Amino acid sequence: MIPVRGFEGRTVAVLGLGRSGLSVAHALEAGGAQAVAWDDGAAARERAEGEGIVLRDLTRAGAFEDVATLVVSPGIPHLYPAPHPVVVAAQAAGVPVDNDIGLFFRSFGGADFDRFDTVPRVIAVTGSNGKSTTSALIHHILQEAGRPAQLAGNIGRGVFDTQAARDGEVMVLELSSYQTELARALTPDVAVFTNLTPDHLDRHGGMGGYFAAKRRLFAEGGPDRAVIGVDEPEGRYLAGQLAEDGAEMRVIRISSGSKLDGPGWSVFARKGFLSEWRGGRQVASIDLRDIKGLPGAHNHQNACSAYGALRAVGLGPQAIERGFGSFPGLPHRSQHIAERDGVAFVNDSKATNVDSAAKALAAFSRIRWICGGLQKEGGLEALIPFFGHVAKAYVIGREAEAFARQLTGCEAEICGTMDVAVERAMAEAQAGETVLLSPAAASFDQYDSFERRGEDFAAEVKARL
């Protein structure tokens, strides 16, 4: 655990007692503060009390009279669509509002770093898509290269559940817009912006507010290096704001599909090849086409982002390439789980909507596609351009027949359940094809989570190998 610094002998309130709230309450106590906490849910309060956390009803009058700061968990709104009443009360009392990320950046480091030969560093990753894969990929490659590293934030564990940094360690943080928008301190050494597509717009008051939440990591964080995806207008704008001129080496521009010109520092992927350019010349190239853990253009963008961040902390191209080759992928995200007789089996159960499934269908050339489930609004029309990659669809779910009727121009078989779909797909798959679970639908008609659906797919495949 990393203790929270700067609140010794003072009272700090914590609102929300999920994973991050519990860990920050314990970290405050470890740092010499008095933590008082509240959650709207009785079960969460009972769990916290069982862990020795002092409860205080922050909704009552006068609750903030002795409070130095209110720490808010990420899922609790502080502005849009409407601020939580406890946040309103804190602001009315003149109490600053922060979150665990802000406390982490003010607590990580300090005088104890003077004893290290190599000062620990922080890589923070944000964006709309690919944050988890990019963060996990950076962490994996650092470990494969023998660099001490930890992974936390919006992935895995809370930032205060990490251990005190070691000599030369790199802390890799995945940060959502919920985390970057409120943190009062944001000081990563390397900040990564993967891309931007509409998401969480009600929470941020629209697209402009959503981008502004992401932008804070760079504009207020002042990273030594900024790795910026420039395939969207917002990324190009951000890169332009951070660069002093075209030859600026503080900014590493990233693209998937476009060659990036200019005298600065860029990393881009085209036709399956990653290229690094500096000062107008190519300095490295990596063939991504046969890397099983990074299939498709969306994962090539993730690879470019991770590559840029790793180069910024001193790793060489060969070490990064070796790490790419051994990366297994994240569970349920285009995860390669097996291969037999030239047929690959890929678990993309996380594709709970059409946009995610489209990326998976674009990643493979000939697919035995297991799809279906609890369909979301909007239909499946956006998938039609990718049906040329599909040899046959095997539809599962309680509404499998209705789902199959929408697969215009794609041969489809109604299977209903995962075991039948896997058995039929494996029986008909030929060498060079991919049996892909990418449902384009939620799981709740047959499973309690997309993770459980992916685990069932993997179990059914492995039972037949």
CATH of the domain at 15: 3.40.50.720
168 and 294, same domain (yes or no): yes
Tokens of 85: 């009443």
Q: 246: pLDDT confidence band, cut at 50, 70 and 90?
A: confident
Q: Is there a single domain that holds both residue 297 and residue 151?
A: yes
Domain end point (choices 98, 130, 159)? 98
Q: Cα separation of 13 and 22, whole Å? A: 12
Taking residues 134-143, what's their average pLDDT?
98
CB 193 within 8 A of CB 238: yes
H or E segment at 219?
A: helix 207-219
pLDDT > 70: what percent of the chain? 100
The residue whose two tokens read 């507010």 is: 209
The predicted pLDDT at position 111 comes to: 67
Average per-residue pLDDT in the chain?
95
Q: Same structural domain for residues 188 and 281?
A: yes
Q: What confidence tier does 110 reach under pLDDT thresholds 50, 70, 90?
A: confident
Measured between alpha carbons, how far is 143 from 146 in angstroms, rounded to an integer? 5
> Which residue range forms the structural domain that includes residue 361?
335-464
pLDDT band per the 50, 70, 90 thresholds, residue 156: confident
pLDDT tens across 334-365, in order? 999 999 999 999 999 999 989 899 999 999 99
Residue 208 lies in a domain: yes
Q: Label residue 413 by pLDDT band (50, 70, 90).
A: very high
Q: What is the pLDDT of residue 1?
A: 87
**How much is the average pLDDT of 230-238?**
96
Residue 141 placed within a domain: yes
Distance CA(189)–CA(217), nearest Å, equals 11
Check pLDDT > 90 for residue 383: yes
Q: Could you give the count of Cα atoms lying within 13 Å of 135 in the half-sphere of its Cβ?
A: 27
Q: Are residues 280 and 401 in the same domain?
A: no
Q: Is residue 276 part of a domain?
A: yes
- CA gap 227, 192 in Å, rounded: 5
Helices (H), 367-465: 400-405, 418-428, 450-464
- 120 in the same domain as 59: no
pLDDT exceeds cutoff 90 at 78 = yes
pTM score, whole prediction: 0.91
- Rounded CA-CA distance 168/145 in Å is 12
Total domains in the fold of the chain: 3
Q: How far apart are CA 103 and CA 100, in angstroms?
A: 5
Residues 168, 116 contacting (CB under 8 angstroms): yes
Measured distance CA(434)–CA(325) in Å, rounded:
19
pLDDT at residue 157 tops 90: no
Q: Are residues 50 and 196 in the same domain?
A: no
Q: Using the 3D structure, point to which of 46, 76, 98 is the last residue of a domain.
A: 98
d(CA 129, CA 9): 41
CATH code for position 371: 3.90.190.20
Residue 120 has pLDDT above 90, yes or no: yes
pLDDT in tens, 284-331: 999 999 999 999 999 999 999 999 999 999 999 999 999 999 999 899
Residues 68 and 37 in one domain: yes
104 falls within a domain? no
User: At which of 66, 98, 130 does a domain end?
Assistant: 98
In a shared domain, residues 203 and 92? no
Residues 61 and 179 placed together within one structural domain of the fold: no
Give CA–CA dist 342/357, Å, rounded. 23
Q: Is there a single domain that holds both residue 456 and residue 402?
A: yes
Q: Which amino acid is at 263?
A: P
Q: Provide mean pLDDT across the span 424-451.
A: 96
Same domain (yes/no): 314, 345: no
Contacts of 461 (CB under 8 A, 6+ apart): 337, 338, 345, 422, 426, 435
CB 241 within 8 A of CB 219: yes
In 116-196, which residue ranges form alpha helices assigned H by DSSP? 131-144, 177-180
Is residue 27 predicted with pLDDT exceeding 90? yes
Contact between residue 265 and residue 224 where contact means Cβ atoms under 8 Å apart = no
190-215 pLDDT tens trace: 999 999 988 888 999 999 999 999 99
